[in-house]
Amino acid sequence: RHADLYYAFQRIRSFTSDPFTSLLPEVLFQVARYIINCLGSSPAPYGISRVHTLYTLAKQAKALGAYKFARFAYQKLQQLKVPSRWQDQIDFDMLAIQAKPMRDNPELLSVCYRCGETNKSLLNMDGDMCSSCLHPFIRSFINFDILPLVEFVPEDRISEEEALELIRSAPPAASDRASHDSKWHETRGDGADFLTLGEDGKSGVTGIHGAVDDSTDLFSQCVNSALDKQEYTNRYCPVVVDARTLTSLRRDEVFVTRMAVPPERAGDVLPAVGGKGKDGAFIGRLRYYKNMLAGIHVALSQPCGRFAHEEEFEYAYLKEGGCPFSRVKDLGDYSSV
């Protein structure tokens, strides 16, 4: 977590210290918002300045029309010790923001790809997560946009090897499913062909390779099941998928990372922790993500387990000669499963 914060804060430091910056206001806004949400009310790690982050957030929020969020940032700055060279500008901006409407630009509000809710506030002191279903936001670590990724876990009785095998397997053929799932019936009469819908009013959607793609429906059922469970437990419940759902998923929409867990946190990893890595860190179970919007191409850097938009990642990789996050030069495959 600290590594993510330091990586993000270097953009804040560049904005507040360098004469010029090539970063867009939207990027700086998302970076500052990410840091503030992650910090919450806890102390900032050594080297990360809450003042610099709030100053960047206030400036960019004001420029982008998030006036309510900008007020919050300026009010927090009034309670902190700021550099003297900023004081006059902050006082002036604080007065100017009072003339703005007490609302945020709705285009800046985050949409959760797990529950579909639009978060009403840009601030979440509990963490960088959905305020409705508590699903952590998966961000691009280049522009810090929220990516359409939803984390899920296979059933406990499904091993990691079995889960990967099911995801990589070809989807069921349409002919194998027709007698069970298809509700469309073809009839002929009076020199014409008719296609009618069965009693339940449902049908499959033809996907790639002539298969009936029901991955969205099956996965959505698992998501709804997790959301229903949360209503009674009042805590975050992961999306649990069965073997049939894993088989229905398109492998080009599934990403898998392996999380490294330090020994002192080994007990926090559920359901089980296996072995130690080369650096002595405990290696937890695989983490699975589904891309909910196939039109948005996502890249994954396996050495550090960080995501980004594919085009931006490839550009950064060519520009820097390696992964922009881990600095590893030979990444291998950075696409989906």
Q: How many helices (H) and strands (E) does the chain have?
A: 10, 9
Name the more confident of 21 and 117.
Answer: 117
Q: Indicate if the pLDDT at residue 329 is higher than 60.
A: yes
Which pLDDT belongs to residue 183? 42
Same domain for 85 and 156, yes or no, is: no
Q: Indicate if the pLDDT at residue 268 is higher than 70.
A: no
18: in domain: yes
Same domain for 136 and 239, yes or no, is: yes
Same domain for 10 and 82, yes or no, is: yes
Helices marked H in the chain — which ranges? Answer: 2-17, 25-39, 50-64, 67-78, 84-97, 160-168, 174-181, 215-233, 243-248, 310-320
270: in domain: yes
Q: Indicate if the pLDDT at residue 272 is higher than 50.
A: no
205: in domain: no
- pLDDT tens digits, one per residue of 209-265: 333 445 558 999 999 999 999 988 889 999 999 999 999 999 999 999 986 655 454
**Residue 146 has which token pair?**
């929220």
Of residues 220, 235, 228, 225, the one with CA closest to residue 135 = 235
Same domain for 34 and 158, yes or no, is: no
Which pLDDT belongs to residue 188? 47
Same domain for 134 and 227, yes or no, is: yes
- pLDDT tens digits, one per residue of 305-317: 999 999 999 999 9
At residue 334 the predicted structure's pLDDT band, cuts being 50, 70 and 90, is confident
SS3 154: strand
175: in domain: no
Question: What's the average model confidence in pLDDT over 41-46?
Answer: 92
- Give the number of domains in the chain: 2
- Chain mean pLDDT for the chain: 83
Rounded to whole angstroms, the Cα distance separating 11 from 17 reads 10
Name the more confident of 27 and 171.
Answer: 27
Rounded to whole angstroms, the Cα distance separating 263 from 268 reads 10
Q: Indicate if the pLDDT at residue 93 is higher than 50.
A: yes
48, 77, 140, 152, 331 from 145: Cα distances, Å: 21, 25, 5, 20, 23
Domain that holds residue 294: 130-170+216-336
Which pLDDT belongs to residue 261? 55
Same domain for 39 and 145, yes or no, is: no
Name the more confident of 322 and 198.
Answer: 322
122: in domain: no
261: in domain: yes
Which pLDDT belongs to residue 1? 78
Question: What's the average model confidence in pLDDT over 293-313?
Answer: 93
Q: What's the predicted TM-score (pTM) here? A: 0.80
The rounded percent of the chain whose pLDDT value lies above 70 is 79
